[in-house]
Amino acid sequence: MNQQEMLLLKLGEVVLKGQNRKSFEDRLVTNVRRRLRRCGSFQIYVRQSTIYAEPLEGRCDIEAAYRAARQVFGVVSVARAVPCEKTVESIVETAKSYLAEEFARAKSFKVESKRADKHFHLNSIQVSQAVGGDLAEAFPSVPVDVHHPDLTVFVEIREKHAYVHGPAVPGAGGLPVGMGGHAVSLLSGGLDSPVSSWMMARRGVELEMIHFVSPPYTSQQAQDKVLELAQLLTAWCGRMLVHIVPFTEIQEEIRKNCPEEYFTLIMRRFMMRLAQAVAKKAGAKALITGESLGQVASQTMMALGVTEDVTDMPVLRPLIGMDKVEIIRISREIGTYETSILPYEDCCTVFTPRHPATRPNLEEVRKAEAVLDVEALVDRALAGETWIRVKP
């Protein structure tokens, strides 16, 4: 590794913020510091819509930092770069040494420059022409092609230094975690809930998770699978609490006392009550679910209204208009797919009705549920709650 190599992280939506832009930038810098801490000691600061991450010691793992930075919400692109003096000669020498392997593979190249320091004596076009001309002489077998180059050499003239790098790679985008509020996400072992959690974290929401267990109907492997999903999400969302709530008694009481076609709906209503209780205790302001309109019987428009009836918190459903193909694509991209498809069933599949109600009447569901001691069942489930802190 070149000892001078560092990272340039470009800001995304944050630059569109008005008077509160600095609070977004400060939170993003804090999140980047936390995420890069395990990669070594870095000096991290923000200037001109860019976060600079400069290694302070040779032991820094720049490759690990590069991967971690790409998963920080609020960063739209990441480039590995080398700083140098703000002279054409220094920029050319840096490009020749730093990008020598890329030039060896390339069939053509161009130089693209950005002059953030408006006091620099050459403008962007002049920098590209001067640097490009010298590099063309240094690598005569690699012609200039300004329209379809194999290699683009990026030069940025900034406040302290000039920076030379190859193409940047996309970052996670979105907003810094912590700027969108605090919510509790209902996390099952399926495909949908990890994706919905990721999507809301990408909008800056700080997450806590709640998971329901029903031993002996659900196994320890099923719980471990959910904790693994939470662990995978921490690479994007940062550390989080996972609340584990026992659900066996509630499901058994529903099965014994309620009409079969309403099993799933009444179960979902209990889940929403419990999630809201946990959220209020945690100071969270919303719930997140992985529901997608029409995907299963409990996710028709009328069924969603029945389950949402028991909560006075906003229920965020980022997948509501998505189909399974889209959800699977995102789960593959964020790394949760292979874990989600492991064959350990969660409590959502326990006592599934043969003919579930798809057009439920709210009053009928309330009447069916009224035979249960709802408050006592909720209290006993919350009394058995445990939690696990999951870290990257």
Residue type, 78: V
Residues 97-132: tens digit of each pLDDT: 999 999 999 999 999 999 989 999 999 999 999 999
Average pLDDT for 351-366 = 89
Percent of the chain residues past pLDDT 90, beyond the cut: 86
Q: What is the DSSP string of 306-340?
A: HHHTT--S-EE-TTTT--HHHHHHHHHHHT-HHHH
Task: Evaluate if residue 146 carries a pLDDT over 50.
Answer: yes
Average pLDDT for 325-354 = 89
Residue type, 290: G
Strands 315-316 and 286-288: parallel
Task: Evaluate if residue 291 carries a pLDDT over 90.
Answer: yes
Average pLDDT for 226-231 = 97
pLDDT value of position 392: 80
CA angle 359, 361, 366 (to 5 degrees): 135
Residues 255-287: tens digit of each pLDDT: 999 999 999 999 999 999 999 999 999 999 999
pLDDT value of position 1: 38
Average pLDDT for 332-344 = 94
Is the overall model pTM greater than 0.85, yes or no?
yes
